[in-house]
A and B are shown apart, each in its own frame.
Chain A
Amino acid sequence: MDGFRIPIGSWVKAFIDFVIDAFGWFFDFIATIFAAFYAGAEWLFTAPPFWIVIIAIAAAAWLAKGWKLALGTALGLLVIVSIGQWNNAMQTLALTLVAVLIAVIIAIPLGIWAARSQTVSSIVRPILDFLQTMPAFVYLIPAIFLFGVGVVPGMVATILFSVAPGVRLTELGIRGVDHEVVEAGNAFGATPRRILRQIQLPLAMPTIMAGVNQVIMLSLSMAVIASMVGAPGLGKDIIQALSRTAIALGFEAGLAVVIIAMILDRITGGFGTRTRRTRTRAEQAESIAPSEPAASAVRGAA
């Protein structure tokens, strides 16, 4: 066995070298955009005084679920402030949210496409398996080559790592929509686009939101690891603590990650279950309105 070896590693390296030569401009372009996104998000979270940001996030929690979550959110964020991790936490949050946004923009259309085409599904599935099970650190190496050190390779690795559940659960959700309801749309002559918009997406929404929630959680965990390639945030302190075996710093930064994770999970979870109810209520209000006095007013005007 000594003599025989498939040099997959060197092939991949050769491939990456080739990609850098040929598409360097493209990766520079992506790097610029991602960096700009991150800069914007970071400014949003770190520029205002911390209490304004806390009020804003607590308000989002209130909208998603209620005052209890808002209170818990505010307390959690205050703990982060009190252990001196506020700035790091906001950088991590910014990185996570930008990565999630991009991952969702990729995942949902891809999931829809996979749900509609068996071919796409069978091509996408092994790629997702690969992305999901490849040890997270491995993404960082080509990311450094392609994007250099800093926030962008961290973000790219985060997106790659977290996109899989978004695609999977979108596909699952759309495939799981009651076949007869989709058939009803067809039977009344609806176009595929309308069926997607009015039947499949709304009915798959809880599953898709579960996917988005997974994307967020994976992004957060990866955003910490991404600090190994120079991404700012809580991960930096954690890696520092690891190399210095500084228990105190490591625990504080770790606690901040946990708090951020819980807040993100509860808020997105809350929005996920909310989606259906608010939709229906809005539509009800809309359809009641023209029925009674408004309708007669319209008729009178006409």
Chain B
Amino acid sequence: MIDQPLIERPVLEAKNLYKVFGRNPKDAVRRLAAGQTRADVTDAGTAAVIDASFTVAQGEIFVIMGLSGSGKSTIIRMLNGLVQPTAGEVLVRSASVTGASAPQLRAIRRSSVSMVFQHFALLPHRTVIDNAAYALEIQGVAKAERLERARVILDKVGLSDRAQAMPDELSGGMRQRVGLARALTAGTDILLMDEAFSALDPLIRREMQEQLVELQQELGRTVIFITHDLNEAMFLGDRIAVMRDGRIVQNGTPEEILTDPANDYVSQFVQDVDRARVLTAGAVMEPPHLTTPVSAGVRGALRVLREHQASVVFAVENRRLMGVVTDRAVIRAVKAGQTDLNAIVDSSVLTVSRDDLLSDIVERAVETPVPLAVVDETRRLVGVIPRVTLLAALGNVPATTREMPTIQSPIDMVAQFTPLVDAAAGVPAGSSTADGGVR
């Protein structure tokens, strides 16, 4: 799915990838292509990846997200030929990985694609710097040069003082930094990261995510990141492919996936997402209805306030935000016989830009009674975020009141039905509902 015109050829392209393990993989692929499901073809083999296609552009962080068993680890291994697909093709800079001979494959891996592993996969008998330089050693770079280059990267990941340590002397986070350094030192422009941060504890993981984003911005590598953690996917991903049972069920930007989930599976998935870290002001803002041109004067402002039964109105000039006018100021001005709106405009209004994350603007929204104004670079008012909209966006409920579908969770249902069942069985209802609730 190519949803925006790519300026250049994609760095990496996966075309209709299938991977089936088992007795009769080719047959399984044929049947899957004809529309049968994973469960239908279990007699022919286990389908790990079904018809996966995507492209990754230069400098992008592309996240493949799915639960365990969804086929994501198999996909990433097909991208560098560690696993050969049953059908389909992988192109790295237009060179086919799938058709390559063993030496060609090694050449592609040395020059274009490096990898970071879930459990770090460091060489335990070598020092940190030798590990970091390992890819260069394979590429045949002379010792002095490769140690020098490794040192530069170790410095970037903050490990220059541990260069002579052995991997087993390091903490998990540090080890993965070495893994990252090894992949970065390789100098390839594509970085495959297989659940790279999943083995780390949450605080370290957050730190590593931020470091990865920084490094990516600095070095401009293309990253393909596998994770089962949606928050991680949302934080890192420029685009995310959500996988389920071997298929890619949705491929889009984090916002698209949050605001417009392709199916129930994805929407259930995104329920628990820390939305504040993903959604931007531009994604939740509402059209700016409460505006009045400065030229309309105090009377104009009063009319808008009365029509919308609002307490504040944004004053604009040529659609550019001048400030806000409160109802009190308007009333006072009318009483005093003033007509010039400029005199009462409060220009200290808080503004946010379209790309600001909700997590960054929540604090500002709480401090002001006035809706936040979303403006572009030229200070044109493009939208507003009333507090209720902000809260609704964070809570994943519509801002308007309408009938809401209630999804009953199994726990609720247990809690609801246990009294009935217990009553039938002759157990006092009160004691067991508490249990049900805990369960």
Given contacts A280-B166, A287-B164, A290-B144, contact A183 B125 (CB under 8 A): no
**CB nearest to B143 among chain A residues:** A290
Number of A residues contacting the other chain (C-beta, 8 Å)? 28
Please encode chain B, from 90 to 116, with 1 for each CB lying within 8 Å of some chain A CB and 0 for all others.
000000000000000111111001110
- Taken together as a complex, chains A and B put the C-alpha atoms of A203 and B120 apart, in Å, by 16
A123 within 8 Å of B by Cβ? no
Interface SS, A side: helix
Within the complex, what minimum Cβ distance (angstroms) separates B148 from chain A?
Answer: 8
A184 and B124: CB pair below 8 A? no
Chain A residues with CB under 8 Å of B108's CB are 189
Q: Is the interface of B mostly helix, strand, loop or mixed?
A: mixed
Give the total of B residues in contact with A, Cβ under 8 Å.
Answer: 38
User: B135 at the A/B interface (Cβ < 8 Å)?
Assistant: yes
Of the stretches B126-134, B354-362, B419-427, the one at the interface is: B126-134
B123-A188 in contact (CB<8A): no
Does any Cβ of A come within 8 Å of B26's Cβ? no
Q: Is A28 located at the chain interface by the 8 A CB criterion?
A: no
Query: With the chains together, A269 CA to B110 CA distance in Å?
Result: 39
User: Is A284 engaged at the interface, CB distance under 8 Å to the other chain?
Assistant: yes
A203-B125, A280-B127 known; A188 and B144 CB under 8 Å? no
Distance A298 CA – B115 CA, assembled complex (angstroms)? 33
Q: How many Å lie between the Cα of A279 and that of B121 in the bound state?
A: 19
A295 within 8 A of B: yes
Name the residue on A nearest B150 (C-beta): A287
Whether A188 lies near B134 (C-beta < 8 A) is yes
Give every chain A residue within 8 A of B124 (Cβ-Cβ).
181, 203
Chain A residues within an 8 Å CB radius of B129:
287
B228 CB-CB contact with A under 8 Å: no
For window 401-416 of B, CB contacts with A under 8 Å fall at none
Q: Which of the listed residues B109, B123, B125 has the most CB atoms from chain A within 10 Å of its own CB?
A: B125
Given known pairs A187-B80, A284-B127, the reply for A181 and B121 (CB within 8 Å) is yes
Give me the interface of A with B, judged by CB distance under 8 Å.
Answer: 178, 180-181, 183-191, 194, 198-199, 202-203, 276, 279-280, 283-284, 287-288, 290-291, 295, 298
Q: Return 24 A-B CB contacts under 8 Å, by A number.
A: A180-B119, A180-B120, A181-B121, A181-B122, A181-B124, A183-B117, A184-B121, A185-B138, A186-B109, A187-B113, A187-B114, A187-B117, A188-B134, A188-B135, A188-B182, A189-B108, A189-B109, A283-B130, A287-B147, A290-B147, A291-B147, A291-B151, A291-B163, A295-B144
Listed from nearest, the 4 A-B pairs whose CB atoms lie closest are: A189-B109, A189-B110, A184-B121, A187-B115
